[in-house]
Amino acid sequence: MLSHDGQMVTRPAHGENNANVLLTATIKKGSVTVTKVFSMTVLAEDSDILKVAVDKAALTENAIKETNIDLAYVTGAPANPLPSSGAVNGSMITWKSSAPLIVSDDGQTVARSVYYIRLWQWQIWTK
């Protein structure tokens, strides 16, 4: 659970009980030695369901919008690359576009509609 030097904590597996650990410090100066005991509880690992939920919550619009103002007004590619693992627990993240001819599955190809390009050109011509 806790290494002798206090540098490594091994959490009990999900479903096991939390581990109660006593960490004892020995303080010595000259011929005087005293100890101080710290009581700790090492929590069991979270379930995979909870780990995935935490990673899902951490995956925000800001993590992928890149230079776009927000995801309702995309004019360029999202983050390159899109996150492939959760920021907190390392859950695997894959991506799938509902319109891969407009935004590719990896998010790196954004093809603007001819309609919007023509509208943009029309706005420039009419000014």
pLDDT digits 0-9 by tens, 90-108: 999 999 988 888 888 888 8
Please tell me the pTM assigned to this model.
0.64
Task: Tell me the average pLDDT of the chain.
Answer: 84
What is the DSSP code string of 7-74? --B-PPPTTSPPEEEEEEEEEEETTEEEEEEEEEEEPPPPPHHHHHHHHHHH--HHHH-TTSS-TTS-
Does the pLDDT of residue 6 top 70, yes or no? no
pLDDT digits 0-9 by tens, 57-95: 999 998 888 888 888 888 888 888 889 999 999 999 999
